[in-house]
Amino acid sequence: MKTSSKDTIYRYAVRGGNSLKGEVEVGGAKNAALAIIAASILTDETVTIENMPDVRDTNVLLDAMAGIGVIIERPDRHTVRINGSMVRNVNIEYELIRRIRASYYLIGALLGKYNEAEVPLPGGCNIGSRPIDQHLKGFRAIGADVKIERGSIIAKAERLTGAHIYMDVVSVGATINILMASCMADGKTIIENAAKEPHVVDVANFLNSMGANIKGAGTDVIRIKGVSSLHGATYSVIPDQIEAGTFMFAAAVTGGDILVKNVIPKHLESITAKLIEVGCRVEEFDDCVRVSRTGKLRNTQIKTLPYPGFPTDMQPQAGVTLSLSEGVSTITESIFENRFRYVDEIMKMGADIKVEGNTAIITGTESLTGANITAPDLRAGAALVLAALAADGVSTIDDIHLIERGYEDFEIKLKGLGAVIEKVTDERSVKKFRMKNAKVS
Ligand code: EPZ
């Protein structure tokens, strides 16, 4: 990915008001790819991963793994070849590892392969406290002694033995980590109250393609029969449900008409249902969905839930859209405790949202006006771009590196749909953008 060079700080300049129309292609799922990259080191043979998204999070994890001896080749932008045979060092101090949350998948992979692992505690993400107690519960259940020392998680086991594990919380990360740690344990592991997200299923399918024996992924009971070893494989990552949903909501909020291609419509059902509720037309095809809106946006109620409920990663995009609907809407965020950070920013654009506890009360307004705003986190940042696209006038959005964590070529794809958006660096280029796009009202 041509990311901003180290010292250049980029921001988006957006002139809102265009209805986005046309076709957009969705890339591989970031949250499946991160786990699959880590799981690739469970074998000493080479693994080829296709439809790999070229986004900051996956690139940082790949760099971090190269830094601990994993051989990484990138024959093209969306294909990665990984060989983890050289990874002997289970004590991972590598600086980059600390920086990304998904590095906690290395614990499950290294423990599953070597019966021991030492990985720095993942950085807390700013959408909530992000505990890992369920991950540790799973590792301990299969026989690992786990302690936290010197800012790292240290897990060691004489041998790993299958266990019956009841998750106290539905956790994507913990479910995936236990899959990786138990796929070569002795005997059977059962995970009750497992996460059912599409990317959990994708990781299970990937591990099975390497010779694992995992059944029930996608339901709340997953059964793993330990195997003696895993072999290399070639695997293609599923399309990104959240990138797809973000473009679907882009059509809704700008009153556009977008054909979102390379998706699995089944994974988008809760998103489709809400878009229809707010007045959009959604047509489903084999591997694409078409979303259009001509009439006014209507209000609705949303509560985020584990899959197949409405995804928490789509909550900011829905909140921004509802700020332009008629009437009062509510959104209840039941997964994370700090996922309304976009509200302060969109209030600068004229939105009327009150947050009470884990519920946002949204009184729809006629329009939003452009403003200088800042991306607070990955999904809130993407949602604020949608708000800028729907607003009257010019907006600038800072800290777009947070958006680039999970969206490949975001501004290029939006431009392809008729958006007026540029990646700019300094005040001078913002001024130039404003001059060029001063909309004759
Ligand atoms: C994954 O995070 C995703 N990240 C998140 O996407 C996504 O929002 C989340 O799943 C829910 O779908 C990746 O896959 C890298 P969880 P994860 O464990 O695994 C609590 C994005 O925007 N919990 O399912 O960290 C936790 O506090 C990111 O792409 C525990 O209590 O989420 C939360 O309330 C943001 N103990 C709930 O469970 C634990 O040990 C769900 O968290 C683990 C989690």
Domain containing residue 382: 11-27+239-436
Which atom of ligand 1 is nearest the CA belonging to 172? 24
Instruction: Report how far ligand 1's centroid is from the alpha carbon of 134 (Å).
Output: 11
Residue 64, classified by CB atoms within 10 Å of its CB into exposed (0-12), middle (13-18) or buried (19+), is buried
pLDDT digits (tens, 9 = 90+) for 336-377: 998 999 999 999 999 999 999 999 999 999 999 999 999 999
Which atom of ligand 1 is nearest the CA belonging to 197? 12
| Domain co-membership, 210 together with 265 | no
| Domain co-membership, 59 together with 109 | yes
- Regarding the beta carbon of 21 and ligand 1, being less than 6 Å apart is answered no
133 CB-near residues (< 8 Å, 6+ apart) = 168
Determine which residue's CA is closest to atom 6 belonging to ligand 1.
313
> Among residues 31, 40, 30, which one has the least CA distance to residue 68?
40
**End residue of a domain, out of 188, 215, 236:** 236
Q: What angle do CA 137, 143, 148 make, to 5 degrees?
A: 55
Instruction: Report how far ligand 1's centroid is from the alpha carbon of 379 (Å).
Output: 13
- Regarding the beta carbon of 173 and ligand 1, being less than 6 Å apart is answered yes
Q: Is 8 helix (H, G, I), strand (E, B) or coil?
A: coil
Tell me, yes or no, if 125 is annotated catalytic. Answer: yes
| Domain co-membership, 134 together with 247 | no
CA distance 315 to 248: 13
| Domain co-membership, 230 together with 275 | no
pLDDT for residue 2? 46
In this prediction, the residues of the chain whose per-residue pLDDT falls under 70 are 1-7, 88-94, 123-125, 439-441
**Does 286 reside within a domain?**
yes
**End residue of a domain, out of 199, 221, 236:** 236
- Regarding the beta carbon of 135 and ligand 1, being less than 6 Å apart is answered yes
Of 125, 183, 280, 288, the active-site residue reads: 125
**Does 2 reside within a domain?**
no
Instruction: Report how far ligand 1's centroid is from the alpha carbon of 138 (Å).
Output: 16
pLDDT digits (tens, 9 = 90+) for 195-246: 999 999 999 999 999 999 999 999 999 999 999 999 999 999 999 999 999 9
| Domain co-membership, 83 together with 21 | no
**Does 215 reside within a domain?**
yes
- Regarding the beta carbon of 378 and ligand 1, being less than 6 Å apart is answered yes
Instruction: Report how far ligand 1's centroid is from the alpha carbon of 392 (Å).
Output: 35
- Regarding the beta carbon of 200 and ligand 1, being less than 6 Å apart is answered no
| Domain co-membership, 404 together with 269 | yes
| Domain co-membership, 309 together with 183 | no
Compute φ and ψ for 401, nearest 5 degrees. -60, -25
| Domain co-membership, 364 together with 248 | yes
Which atom of ligand 1 is nearest the CA belonging to 135? 40
2 CB-near residues (< 8 Å, 6+ apart) = none
| Domain co-membership, 182 together with 300 | no
- Regarding the beta carbon of 132 and ligand 1, being less than 6 Å apart is answered yes
Tally of domains within the chain: 2
**End residue of a domain, out of 207, 236, 265:** 236
Which atom of ligand 1 is nearest the CA belonging to 336? 34
**Does 257 reside within a domain?**
yes
**Does 205 reside within a domain?**
yes
| Domain co-membership, 211 together with 139 | yes
| Domain co-membership, 101 together with 180 | yes
Instruction: Report how far ligand 1's centroid is from the alpha carbon of 422 (Å).
Output: 32
| Domain co-membership, 218 together with 284 | no
How long is the chain?
441
pLDDT for residue 241? 98
Which atom of ligand 1 is nearest the CA belonging to 101? 15
Alpha helices in 115-264 (DSSP H): 133-141, 172-182, 198-209, 241-254
**Does 441 reside within a domain?**
no
Determine which residue's CA is closest to atom 17 belonging to ligand 1.
173
Determine which residue's CA is closest to atom 18 belonging to ligand 1.
171
CA distance 353 to 328: 10
- Regarding the beta carbon of 130 and ligand 1, being less than 6 Å apart is answered yes
**Does 105 reside within a domain?**
yes
For residue 351, the domain's CATH number is 3.65.10.10
**Does 6 reside within a domain?**
no
CA distance 369 to 287: 35
Core vs surface per residue 294-315: b (16+ CB within 10 A) or e: eeebbbbebebebbeebbbbbb
Give how far Cα 349 sits from Cα of 80, 256, 320, 393, Å: 41, 21, 11, 10
